[in-house]
C-alpha cells in the first residue's frame, strides 16, 4: 500500500512514529510497543533514521519486521553522510525488500558536527535527494518534511516554504510536519503553501508532552514555541510526572480535535516509543467521534 494513495482514499490518516533503540539494545521492547499500537489500527508507522545515518541498518531491520508484522512502514531516509552511489544502493535494498514508502530527508549532521557539509558526491538539500530518487527510476511513495514554524536553518518562513515547494515539485507526494503546539502555525503554514500552488496533503505531527523537562528540550531541538498557558500549567505540577502526562494528553487531544475538525487530513503522533500516552490520545479522539 502506498501512503499517497491512503491520503487519496481516506478522509483522515492516523499514524505513529518510533525510533530505533540504541545499538546494544533489544528490539523486543520496541515490538511490544508495536503490538500495543497495532490494536489502534494505525494506517502506518514511521521509523526514524539516526543522525548522520547512524541507525541505517537498524532502521532497515525494523522496517522489514514492521512489514512482516502486518504494519505499513514509512521509512525515514536521509542523505547526510552518503554518496550518490551509496544512496542508490540503499534505495535498491529497500525496494528489493518490498518497502514502498519513504520519508525523504536531508537529516541531521553526524554527532559532534554543528553544521552539515555534504560529501563531494552527496546532496546538500532534501529536494536534491527527492529529485535523484525520481531520476533513478525508483517508484517509492515519497513523503517530505514540513515546518509550520519554519526550519531552524532557514533565514525566514518564506524561503522555507519555497524549499518545501521544491521538494514537492521534485517528486514528493505528501508532507508530514515537525511538531508544533499552536494550531494557528499549522493553518497559516497550510494557507501559504496552497497560495503557492502546493496541493499535497499535509499531515500534522503532534507531540505528547509527558515530562516537564521536555519543555526546554523541545524548544532547542525543533524551534517550536510552547504556549504560555500550557507551559504554566505544566510547570505548576512538574514534580508529579503523571499529572504532567495527563496535561500533555489532554492538550494533545484538544489540539488534534481542532486540527481534524478544521480539515487536517489526519494526525501523526510522535510516541517516543511509548504506547500508553499515544493510546490515551487516540482513545480521546475516538470518544469525540474523530477517529475510527
What are the tens digits of pLDDT across the range 86-101? Answer: 999 999 999 999 999 9
Residue 219: pLDDT over 80: no
Please, what is the Cα angle at 137 between 101 and 129, to 5 degrees? 65
Q: At what angle do helices 183-195 and 241-261 cross, to 10 degrees?
A: 30
Question: Which positions are annotated as active-site residues?
Answer: 17
Domain spans of the chain, in order of start: 3-287
Cα-based distances in Å from 74 to 1, 85, 111, 174, 217: 11, 22, 24, 12, 25
Q: Judge whether residue 20 has pLDDT over 70.
A: yes
Rounded distance, CA 7 to CA 43, Å? 10
- Mean pLDDT across the stretch 166-187? 97
Task: State the architecture of 3-287 in CATH terms.
Answer: Alpha-Beta Barrel (3.20)
pTM of the model: 0.94
Q: Does the pLDDT at position 147 exceed 90? A: yes
Model confidence at 151, pLDDT cuts 50, 70, 90, reads confident
Beta bridge partners of 270: 17, 207
Residue 285 has pLDDT above 90, yes or no: yes
Check residue 152 and give its pLDDT.
84
Q: What is the number of residues in the chain?
A: 292
Residue written as grid cell 494550531: 183
Amino acid at each position: 500500500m502506498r501512503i499517497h494513495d491512503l491520503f487519496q482514499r481516506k478522509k483522515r490518516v492516523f499514524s505513529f512514529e518510533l525510533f530505533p533503540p540504541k545499538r546494544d539494545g533489544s528490539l523486543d521492547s520496541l515490538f511490544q510497543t508495536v503490538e500495543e499500537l497495532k490494536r489502534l489500527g494505525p494506517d502506518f508507522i514511521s521509523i526514524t533514521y539516526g543522525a548522520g545515518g547512524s541507525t541505517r541498518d537498524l532502521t532497515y531491520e525494523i522496517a522489514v519486521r514492521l512489514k512482516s508484522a502486518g504494519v505499513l512502514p514509512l521509512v525515514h531516509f536521509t542523505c547526510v553522510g552518503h554518496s550518490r552511489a551509496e544512496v542508490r544502493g540503499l534505495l535498491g535494498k529497500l525496494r528489493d525488500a518490498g518497502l514502498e514508502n519513504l520519508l525523504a530527508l536531508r537529516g541531521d549532521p553526524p554527532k559532534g558536527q554543528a553544521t552539515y557539509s555534504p560529501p563531494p558526491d552527496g546532496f546538500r538539500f532534501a529536494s536534491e535527494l527527492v529529485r535523484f530518487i525520481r531520476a533513478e527510476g525508483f517508484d517509492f511513495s515519497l513523503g517530505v518534511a514540513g515546518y509550520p514554524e519554519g526550519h531552524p536553518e532557514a533565514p525566514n518562513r518564506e524561503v522555507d516554504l519555497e524549499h518545501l515547494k521544491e521538494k514537492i515539485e521534485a517528486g514528493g507526494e505528501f508532507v508530514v510536519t515537525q511538531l508544533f503546539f499552536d494550531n494557528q502555525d499549522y493553518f497559516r503554514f497550510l494557507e501559504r503553501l496552497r497560495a503557492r500552488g502546493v496541493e499535497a496533503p499535509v499531515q500534522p505531527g503532534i507531540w505528547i508532552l509527558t515530562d516537564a523537562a521536555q519543555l526546554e528540550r523541545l524548544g532547542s531541538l525543533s524551534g517550536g514555541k510552547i504556549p504560555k498557558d500550557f507551559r504554566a500549567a505544566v510547570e505548576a505540577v512538574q514534580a508529579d510526572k503523571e499529572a504532567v502526562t495527563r496535561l500533555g494528553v489532554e492538550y494533545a487531544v484538544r489540539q488534534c480535535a481542532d486540527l481534524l475538525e478544521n480539515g487536517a487530513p489526519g494526525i501523526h503522533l510522535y510516541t517516543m516509543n511509548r504506547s500508553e500516552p499515544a493510546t490515551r490520545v487516540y482513545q480521546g479522539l475516538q470518544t469525540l467521534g474523530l477517529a475510527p
